[in-house]
Structure 1
Amino acid sequence: MLHELRCEACRAGAAGALTNQQLQELLFELDGWRIVTRESVPQLEKTFQFSNFKKAWSFSERVANLADQQNHHPSILAEWGKVTVTWWTHSLHGLHKNDFICAAKCDQLYHVGD
């Protein structure tokens, strides 16, 4: 299961960008995540729902802690009642298995809750 894996080091020019088939296979393992493209860069994104801002903020902090533990950092947008998390591998200008690992870990954090 993806949430049990740990991110591996990834540097500019390194192999690791996923093929379309690999992207679809990994996306199938996630719940509610989608691939969006911004400025020609595919990114993995999901919006999590909460009953208020404090719960959304608390989840954002848990995602930030996860990001530091994995040494892989997403875009996190916290708003009233929702948090949007976007993962992509900056050095590859695209998606790597690390992004899917971290997405699965976010889902675990969400289901554990406060």
Structure 2
Amino acid sequence: MTLPSRLSAVSANARILLTQLSRRVWADHGRAMKEARQSLALFMGLGLIVLAKVPGWNLVNEGGVQKLHRSWKVKTFVKGMEFLKLVADVAEAEGHHPDLHLVGWNNVKIDIWTHAIGGLTENDFILAAKINGLNLHHLLRITPANK
């Protein structure tokens, strides 16, 4: 057998092996995606149950990312900064870094999710509960939304 014909035979075998490998990878990928969708559906159901443990927080979906969201109205701009500092101290102690926003002069908004996985984990709900446990009443405007 000549060198070109041997290379052609090797090349044909390589194509067959690559095709088989590709089919296995896609089959594994399909199974993994199905399991991920099932896990997400299960987690979303659990997320709604756990959400009841953190009153005032809402589940939101931003660009396919599930987040916990809550907003408050504070008395003044300076009270808003104090509010954010108290939350930042708790978040830092937890090793968590939520998105903190002071919008306008008196609207505090917080979004919590785990950046590493692009969604929610148990730690997000724990942080939300700890934020709920902070003594923030002296900073808030008393409105029906804050009660």
TM-score normalised by structure 1 residue count: 0.78
The alignment status of 1:61 with 2:48, answered yes or no, reads no
Q: 2:71·2:108 contact (CA, 8 Å) conserved in 1?
A: yes
Q: Which structure is larger by alpha-carbon Rg, 1 or 2?
A: 2
Structure 2 counterpart of 1:42: 66
Q: How far 1:74 sits from its partner (Å)?
A: 0.2
SS at match of 2:133: helix
Contact 1:59 1:110 in 2 (8 A): no
- Determine if contact 1:88/1:96 at 8 Å carries over to the other structure: yes
Structure 1 position 43, deviation (Å): 0.5
Note the 1:92-111 alignment, pairs <5 A: 92-111=117-136
Aligned to 2:102: 78
Q: Which amino acid aligns with 1:51?
A: K
Identity of aligned residues (%): 32
More helix by proportion, 1 or 2? 2
Tell me how many residue pairs correspond in the alignment.
99
The structure with higher relative contact order (CA 8 Å, sep 6+) is 1
Gaps of 5+ in 1: 1-16
Report the equivalent of 1:3.
none
1:30 CA displacement: 1.3
Please report the RMSD computed on the Cα atoms of aligned residues, expressed in angstroms.
2.0
C-alpha contact 1:49 1:83 (8 A) present in aligned 2: yes
Cα distance in structure 2, aligned partners of 1:105 and 1:82: 20
Distance 1:75 1:68 in 2: 12
TM-fit CA distance, 1:29: 0.9
**Residue 89 (1) aligns with residue 114 (2):** yes
Distance 1:67 1:111 in 2: 15
Q: Which runs of 5+ in 2 are unaligned?
A: 1-39, 140-147
Letter in 2 for 1:69: A
TM-score by length of 2: 0.61
